[in-house]
């Protein structure tokens, strides 16, 4: 986290806040919680190569090792993509502030005003002794169907397999995604006056 003049910026995801804001909209995300994903992928690929070198390759082990490696790399790509999309969306809001205030702006075909509700969903991935909880980008309410379904489905399939936090985070994340995701308005985001503390990425 850095403070420069009148603005406070978190390194990831990037949010520019009003200096008088009583609470942060988004807790700072530690980059190392993201880069644990490719590390996990590489470790499982190394394990596969070691099995091949030792002549101990089985179909079951190979499928598990490659499956985990692919899932970890895919999750890393997802997080980076969500970061880019969030940055683009926030840049658009700042560049079209007058239109947003007037209620004449739109993003992806959806009208945007200060009252427009934004949501954040989460997904959980677990790899034995490592569990990762990751946030999505900000998405406009009503345009979030596939993102909610995708995050929930991935969590349902891949969230359980970590000790001890996998099952705990999986149950909580699925319930939150379906019943009450983190939410705030565009006005609260731009003015930095939301009472909502959006959760950060977490690794355990």
pTM for the full model? Answer: 0.70
Q: Is the pLDDT of residue 147 over 50?
A: yes
Q: Which residue has the tokens 């993509």?
A: 81
pLDDT of residue 201: 52
Q: Is the pLDDT of residue 50 over 50?
A: yes
Question: Domain locations in the chain?
Answer: 2-203
pLDDT of residue 198: 43
Residue 125, beta-bridge partner list: 132
Q: Is the pLDDT of residue 170 over 90?
A: yes
- pLDDT tens readout for residues 182-195: 888 998 888 875 44
| Closest alpha carbon to 76 in 125, 28, 27 | 125
- Rounded mean pLDDT of 13-37? 42
Instruction: Kindly report which listed range (25-39, 73-87, 110-124, 183-197) carries the lowest average pLDDT score.
Output: 25-39
Identify the residue with better confidence: 159 or 21: 159
pLDDT of residue 52: 83
- Rounded mean pLDDT of 35-42? 85
| Residue 160 DSSP one-character state | S
Rg of the chain (C-alpha set) = 19
| Complete edge-to-edge strand list for the sheet that includes strand 130-135 | 122-127, 130-135, 202-203
Tokens for 55, please give them.
């002549």
- pLDDT tens readout for residues 62-107: 888 888 888 888 888 888 898 899 899 999 999 999 999 999 999 9
* Straight-line distance from the first to the last Cα atom of the chain, in angstroms, rounded to the nearest whole number: 21
DSSP 47-111: HHHHHHHTT---HHHHHHHHHHHHHHHHHHHHHHHHHHHHHHHHHHHHHTHHHHHHT-EEETTEE
| Closest alpha carbon to 129 in 40, 35, 50, 33 | 40
* Nearest-10 crossing angle of helices 59-95, 32-53: 160
pLDDT of residue 33: 65
Helix (H) or strand (E) holding 118: strand 117-120
Tokens for 36, please give them.
């644990």
Residue 145 burial by Cβ neighbours in a 10 Å radius (0-12, 13-18, 19+): exposed
């Amino acid at each position: 986290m850095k403070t420069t003049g009148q603005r406070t910026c978190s390194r990831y995801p990037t949010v520019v806040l009003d200096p008088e804001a009583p609470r942060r909209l988004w807790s700072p995300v530690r980059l190392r919680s993201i880069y644990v994903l490719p590390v996990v992928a590489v470790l499982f690929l190394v394990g596969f190569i070691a099995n091949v070198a030792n002549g101990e390759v089985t179909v079951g082990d190979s499928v598990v090792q490659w499956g985990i490696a692919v899932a970890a790399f895919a999750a890393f790509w997802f997080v980076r993509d969500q970061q880019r999309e969030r940055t683009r969306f926030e840049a658009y809001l700042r560049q079209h502030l007058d239109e947003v205030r007037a209620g004449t702006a739109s993003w992806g075909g959806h009208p945007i005003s200060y009252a427009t509700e934004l949501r954040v969903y989460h997904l959980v991935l677990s790899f034995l002794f490592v569990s990762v909880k990751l946030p999505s980008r900000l998405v406009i309410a009503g345009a979030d169907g596939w993102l909610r379904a995708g995050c929930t489905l991935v969590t349902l399939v891949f969230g359980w397999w970590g000790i001890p936090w996998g099952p705990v985070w999986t149950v909580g994340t699925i319930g939150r995604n379906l019943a009450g995701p983190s939410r705030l308005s565009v006005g609260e985001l731009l003015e930095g006056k939301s009472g909502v503390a959006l959760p950060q990425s977490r690794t355990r």
